[in-house]
Structure 1
Amino acid sequence: MNPFHPDFRADPYWWDAAPPETTEAEPLPAEVEFLIVGSGFAGLSAALEAARAGVAVAVLDGGPLGGGASSRSGGMVSSGQKLVLTEALRGLPAEKTQAALEDSKATFEFLKDLVRREGLDADLQLTGRFFGAFTPAHLATLHRNAETLRAKTGVTIRILSRAEQRAEVGSDYFHGGFVVEDYGGVHPAKLNQALRGAARAAGAALHSHARVLGTTRRGDGRHEVRTSRGTVLAGHVLFATNGYTDAASPWLHRRIIPVMSYQIATEPLPRALMDQLIPHRRMVTDSRKELTYTRPSPDGTRILFGCRPRALQAEPETLALRLRDRMLRIWPELADYRITHAWGGFVGMTADRLPHIAEHEGVMHAVGCNGNGVALMTFLGWHATQLVLGRTNRRAFFADIPFPALPLPPAANPVIVPVMSAAYHLRDFAANPAEVAAERLGRPRPRS
């Protein structure tokens, strides 16, 4: 069977309901009080907050509005789990660790409140998330992490044995794990589209295909922002470019490394099969270094499956088969169903694996989702704007820590990223060589 559907597209599944937007016919302003670079969750949340405060604000994007990773992500939402599971907080003083977890939890609460307050059509569904152990040895670590999450963030957790996990994922692929009942997901492109609408309704101007080329701070404190469509004079500037950061901000470029992650979507599945594979429509992730993340579509009809399946970047169509092989290792029942979409998006990684709000030479930056961006980036954009406009005296943890540069310049990224990814793949192979080898050979597990 051809694994690709006749209507296969190398575009995000999410764009079927909420495509990116082009506004390049609208001229850029000559001058604006607050200029935001990037039309993802952070940039649009910032624009909404500034416009609500009565500030003249414009958002510029080098491509279509909502065309970056915000509308390409897995759309999963959570609180402090990423900081705990990646051990990004290791070595911090206890008070800093507690502040990080509290503020991470606050990002989740902020997103839920924003969706409710603004009436955003984003398919926010708090159906929970299952975290699966890739190896038996990983299970003990997951249990410790679960207890830390429970103690530090107050989420509701259930520990599951390998036998019990079948009620969550309809598979014995994992070696047990835990469920966080509080977590869930959104339709990321619909959230981006809804934020665009809310920001516009509040008075923000949104401009596509206006690539920022650089900024210069003038003697009066204002900034000349050079773009592919002319120069804009701005009182304040915020870069919210995350994994799409480039040389327009050399300082930020030294602190963000873009890593591509890929996803596929199946064609619509029978309801009985969805009830078997993900009966409670949970989000699902695992404990690999090269993380697997999968979920049902918001309408409950498809499986969306993501990971970074190889060290070297390639076209989505090529990597779709690798993703499908891994998916079939978990759910061999999907062998008879075709792929309708395959796509990728750049994740913004930092040297310390922490998100950051940071000012340099009068320019503010809100970046560094490290693969956990929906709630986090929405919060960072809002909080960065509060700081810029002096609307708060409190600095969140993410705005109160040093933002280290990467050890090598951006020109080394084409080498660094594959080497890092290969190292992660090797660690996954060392942890479970039989499974990784079988996956590489494209061998589905026997159907149960």
Structure 2
Amino acid sequence: MSDNRLFTPDFKMQPYWWDAALPGIGAPDEIVKKVDVCIVGGGYAGLSCALELARNGTNCVVLDSKRIGQGASSRNGGLVSGGLKHAQTELIKDVGKDRATRLLKESAGTLPFLEDLITREKIDCDFAKVGRFSCAWTHRHYDALARSADFTEELTGLPVRMVPPGRQREEIGSDFYHGGQMAEGAATIHPAKYVGGLADSSKRAGAILLGQTHVTGMTRGPDGWRVETSRGTIRTDKVMLGTNGYTGQEAPWFRRRVIPVASFLIATEEIPPELARELVPHARGLADTRRVLSYFRLSPDHKRVLWGGRVGTTAIDPRESARRLRHVMTRVWPQLNDVRISHSWNGNVAFTFDFLPHLGEHKGVHYALGCQGSGVAMQTWMGYQTARMMLSRNSESAFAEGRFPTFPGYSGNPWVLPLILMWYRLRDQIERNWT
């Protein structure tokens, strides 16, 4: 199919979400000179931290090299859950049963925390607790999902049920998968509206937000911190880092501990209501169980399909990533063969070497990093927990325990990712063909 037929005439190489909520807080007229806390990173973690600090009377500033919320916080697919990218048995093996149980319970609690915050702050962000359908890539994946169902239900306190292949079309208008698991403890959201609302709440509470202000260095002295930026120097008592997949050279210790991975998304043109109902009968969030996974949903108005996945490891031309994503999408939904693409974009998520989020303090820098692509609720929670630690209040987060690992020789450049992606794709295909 030619580009003229593949893309709409008004095709945009930017997030679909920005049509309704374009990140707006940019460069300041003047920079603040002295604050109690300087927060680097204007996404969910940084803004959540700022909101809690400001509500408790702490003078804080949030800096971002782009506009506030312009990173992954307004670029993701808007799927929300309280899960970890870690199987229960593997997690127990890695960290022990006690901490594994606390990590899983805390993770499950991030979704109700998010829901409460949205309600309290009156953030209009199309939050819908519609549940999630996990599509089994193979029969073995279906069996693994079935083994986890009771435990997931116990953690979330909400129903979880298996949907066998013969009833799959009750949840997804496709025969591509091998059944799946429906969990009610999940939601969808408009991520750009949410991060914009979180920014507004932080400002109302008293936080200062400065976009397009790049941090070039941070130095700690006897009288506190000097944060050097592209617009001048800020003196501060404390520093918080919430840069996640955009962590740069100004924070080398942290850069060595997070792996930036590009995630790509497309939005289709508007489709007929009957087709939308056929594709996703209950408007749930969906994701499959491949190592190189796809995640997808309807737009909040149920007029478009949004499809995301790992079709590269670094930013590539949005038209090329759209072609790759569309190829995957139409294998699952051939009904969309004649539907054009209206938007294509990408953003960075951050993985860690132990596949766990981390928060805490290192040499005076507080941090909340590494949510493995599931950060809407988790990053909000971690920002809040980091603020509580900075306020010297009780924080018993299991994510603040244990070491924050790196890999020998890794400096922040994930040069090996293309090879890993190829290997994962090969393993996905082998499993599909042999089961």
Q: Same fold (TM over 0.5)?
A: yes
* Length, aligned pairs only: 432
Q: Is the 8 A contact 2:225 2:235 kept in 1?
A: yes
Q: Which runs of 5+ in 2 are unaligned?
A: none
Match in the other structure for 1:401: 402
| Equivalent of residue 138 in structure 2, options 135, 138, 147 | 135
Match in the other structure for 2:184: 181
| Equivalent of residue 171 in structure 1, options 162, 171, 174 | 174
Q: CA deviation at 1:431?
A: 1.4
Q: CA deviation at 1:375?
A: 0.1
Identity of aligned residues (%): 42
Q: CA deviation at 1:63?
A: 1.0
The one-letter amino acid of 1:253's match is R
Match in the other structure for 1:15: 18
Q: Is the 8 A contact 2:263 2:313 kept in 1?
A: no
Match in the other structure for 1:213: 216
How far, CA to CA, are the matches of 1:420 and 1:86 in structure 2?
23
The superposition leaves residues 296-341 of structure 1 with CA deviations (integer Å, 9 ceiling, x where unpaired) of: 1111111100001245652121011110011001110011111000
Q: CA deviation at 1:191?
A: 0.3
Match in the other structure for 1:372: 374
Structure 1 stretches (4+) deviating beyond 3 angstroms? 81-90, 310-313
How far, CA to CA, are the matches of 2:173 and 2:354 in structure 1?
36
Secondary structure, aligned partner of 2:253: helix
Q: Is the 8 A contact 1:80 1:153 kept in 2?
A: no
Q: What TM-score does the superposition give when structure 1 sets the normalisation length?
A: 0.93
Match in the other structure for 1:250: 252
Match in the other structure for 1:383: 385
Q: CA deviation at 1:434?
A: 9.6
> 2:432 matched to 1:429?
no
Q: CA deviation at 1:258?
A: 0.2
Secondary structure, aligned partner of 1:269: coil
Secondary structure, aligned partner of 1:163: helix
How far, CA to CA, are the matches of 2:89 and 2:41 in structure 1?
27
Q: 1:16 to 1:283 in 2, by over 3 A?
A: same
Q: Is the 8 A contact 2:255 2:412 kept in 1?
A: no
The superposition leaves residues 189-214 of structure 1 with CA deviations (integer Å, 9 ceiling, x where unpaired) of: 00000011101111111001111111
Match in the other structure for 1:125: 128
> 2:365 matched to 1:363?
yes
Q: CA deviation at 1:155?
A: 2.9
How far, CA to CA, are the matches of 1:295 and 1:406 in structure 2?
35
> 2:4 matched to 1:28?
no
How far, CA to CA, are the matches of 1:20 and 1:329 in structure 2?
34
| Equivalent of residue 198 in structure 1, options 198, 201, 210 | 201
> 2:116 matched to 1:102?
no
Summarize the alignment of residues 38-117 of structure 1 with structure 2, pairs less than 5 Å apart: 38-80=41-83, 82-84=85-87, 87-117=90-120
How far, CA to CA, are the matches of 2:88 and 2:324 in structure 1?
25
Q: CA deviation at 1:97?
A: 1.1
Q: CA deviation at 1:427?
A: 1.3
The one-letter amino acid of 1:154's match is G
Match in the other structure for 1:324: 326
Q: 1:125 to 1:86 in 2, by over 3 A?
A: farther
Q: 1:49 to 1:161 in 2, by over 3 A?
A: same
Q: Which runs of 5+ in 1 are unaligned?
A: 436-448
Secondary structure, aligned partner of 2:264: strand
Q: 1:434 to 1:316 in 2, by over 3 A?
A: farther
How far, CA to CA, are the matches of 2:89 and 2:365 in structure 1?
30
Q: 1:12 to 1:295 in 2, by over 3 A?
A: same
Q: 1:364 to 1:300 in 2, by over 3 A?
A: same
